Amino acid sequence: MRFDDRLATALGQPAEVSAARQAIWRQLVDLLGQDDDEHSPLRAAAFDRLREWRGEVPIVGRQSAAMLLLGDQPVPTDLIEFFADDATVVFAPLLAGLELPGKVWRKLIPRLSPVARALLRHRRDLPNGALRALEAFGQADLVIEGPASPDREAELEADSAPAPDEHAHYAAPDIRELRARIEAFRERQLHAEQAERTEFRFETGADGMIRWCDMAERGAIVGVSIADAAPGQAHGVDGQAAGAFRRRAPFSDARLTIGAVGQAGGAWCISGVPIFDAATGRFTGYRGTARRPRVGERAEGIGLLGSALSGDALRQLAHEVRTPLNAIAGFAEMIERQMLGPAPRAYRERAATILEETQRLQDVLDDLDEAAHLDGGTAAHAAEEVDCAMLLARVTAALGPLAAEKDVTIALAIAPHCAAALADPGAAERMTMRLVSAAIGLARPGERIAVELSPGDGAKSETLLSVERPSLVAGQNEAELFAACDVPGEEEGAPPLLGLGFTLRMVRGVAESCGGMLVIAPDRFHVRLPAAAARHAPAEATQAANGAGPLA
């Protein structure tokens, strides 16, 4: 018999700073989700710690911790109760996707709040045991949900009276009156909804097509697919939702546009979570919610960023994200290096994975910051002479491990006499890194990607960087490439986090900011950059006209 001391280890970790407490909080949730011994004294101590520190964990962090419980492993009842006591936005996704046997639902439902039970009533896949348990609370919950009225106080007084015996006889007039009030409440709610509907719930099938929604004008929404992006069209979702669908991942505030007129038409922001069959683990579709964009939000894409945020706002957002991201990375590094004391191997490996992911997110923030500068029409730094041959050698060397992992060959060719380019060094390196890594990430195993550097026109007035297009995107035209937030079949590769379309837009923006251009050829991505020698040409011509040669 093996003693599991992971809870004791987590409870004994130092927690002097808030970042450490937040990390331990998520760790305790993970451990409690793996162990269902509800009588363990360590488990009770862990829940006390969770309740004590819950206020320090941001709502987004608590919501993500709850959603991570939606896996193949059963979720302990006491952990569900803990999250059900949190804010609605935290436990709603958990209750929407939770799969439990009927007997577990019968034990859990009486312990839930009326709001949590109200959310469960909207599910259409609960077992009969759960439905019967909800029916037992139907009258009390519906009365609480009713609007203010002259009869409201009398109803509440009745609810505060001692509960009658379950075999007691109810007078028929009282039941009819209660049903009439419930129907009147529903009728008022329906009229209010039809007057102005600002949100709705929806469900999709395994193919991504919306099969159900709770809007009265559901005809315009049912049949819309979240599996395929529809950029620029009047009916469909953006690449965020489509990309998440391909990865069977949750998504939040993606864009949905409905071309119809009426209550359903126009722009929506949608969020959803994937649903899996509890018995087989098979993916069955998505459940989600939609809302109208808030003031300051717009559903259509804008500029390079594809966002309604201005460049200044996005840079501020990136700055705000970096602070907690650095804290996460720092704490993960402390665990990996065992700076806080001995840590189990599994924790160190997870910490190393977190460090890798935070670095990827740091790269994304760098890209967004660069995009914000480009959208604002300004370069991040002044242009300098950039040795493109050395730059390309560094980039391909850095991407060697990725190519080896993908079993992709980088065929590097650098022609002699390539002039230095005139560009922002940091932006040029980021542009080259993203373009080459995107080609490697989308390449299939065994594929060969040619990366070449040559004089653009043979006259040292420009430098030409060429990257071969992977076969996965070989047949797509320029419009399709730039519109792509994700690529059909990309699950075979490791596409850029922000999508191929964003990468190409950033490459084009960087090239144009220094007087160059991106050219999409049938088999290549060509980046033309102005040569630094061209900047000196007018001065040299002036010296020659005055009879003076260049300085020795």
Let me know whether 117 and 177 are in one domain. Answer: yes
The band of 550, judged by pLDDT with boundaries at 50, 70 and 90, is very low
Let me know whether 365 and 482 are in one domain. Answer: no
Let me know whether 234 and 137 are in one domain. Answer: no
Let me know whether 438 and 509 are in one domain. Answer: yes
| Cα–Cα distance, 425 to 407 (Å, whole number) | 30
Considering 39-43, 168-172, 485-489, 495-499, the range whose residues carry the highest mean pLDDT is: 39-43
Which domain, by its residues, includes 241?
Answer: 199-291
Question: pTM for this structure?
Answer: 0.42
Q: What is the side-by-side order of every strand in the sheet holding 251-258?
A: 210-213, 199-204, 283-291, 266-276, 251-258, 236-237
**pLDDT tens by residue, 106-147:** 888 888 877 778 778 878 888 888 888 888 876 556 543 444
User: What 3-state class would DSSP assign to 13?
Assistant: coil
Please give the DSSP secondary-structure letter assigned to residue 472: G
Per-residue confidence (pLDDT) for residue 153, from 0 to 100: 35
| Cα–Cα distance, 143 to 182 (Å, whole number) | 8
Asked whether the beta carbons of 320 and 343 are under 8 A apart, the reply is no
The residues, any chain, with a CB within 8 Å of residue 333's CB and separated by 6 or more, are 339, 351, 355
Per-residue confidence (pLDDT) for residue 467, from 0 to 100: 93
Let me know whether 175 and 203 are in one domain. Answer: no
Residue ranges of E strands in 279-350:
283-291
Let me know whether 423 and 525 are in one domain. Answer: yes
| Cα–Cα distance, 526 to 467 (Å, whole number) | 7
End of a domain among 291, 325, 355? 291
| Cα–Cα distance, 465 to 414 (Å, whole number) | 9
Higher pLDDT, 66 or 478: 66
Q: Tokens 């950033």 correspond to what residue?
A: 506
Neighbouring-strand partners of residue 421 = 386, 531
Let me know whether 317 and 287 are in one domain. Answer: no
**Which amino acid is located at 4 in the chain?**
D
**Structural domains in the chain (count):** 4
Structure-block tokens of residue 39: 């009588």
Asked whether the beta carbons of 459 and 417 are under 8 A apart, the reply is no
Asked whether the beta carbons of 402 and 440 are under 8 A apart, the reply is yes
- Judged against a pLDDT cut of 60, whether residue 545 lies above it is answered with no
Let me know whether 50 and 174 are in one domain. Answer: yes
Let me know whether 249 and 220 are in one domain. Answer: yes
Per-residue confidence (pLDDT) for residue 381, from 0 to 100: 53
CATH assignment of the domain containing 459: 3.30.565.10
Residue 193, domain member (yes or no): no
Q: What are phi and psi of 459, to 5 degrees?
A: -125, 20
Residue 415, domain member (yes or no): yes
Q: What is the mean pLDDT of the chain?
A: 75
End of a domain among 325, 341, 375? 375
Let me know whether 244 and 343 are in one domain. Answer: no
Per-residue confidence (pLDDT) for residue 312, from 0 to 100: 62
- Judged against a pLDDT cut of 60, whether residue 157 lies above it is answered with no
Structure-block tokens of residue 294: 């808030």
- Judged against a pLDDT cut of 70, whether residue 46 lies above it is answered with yes
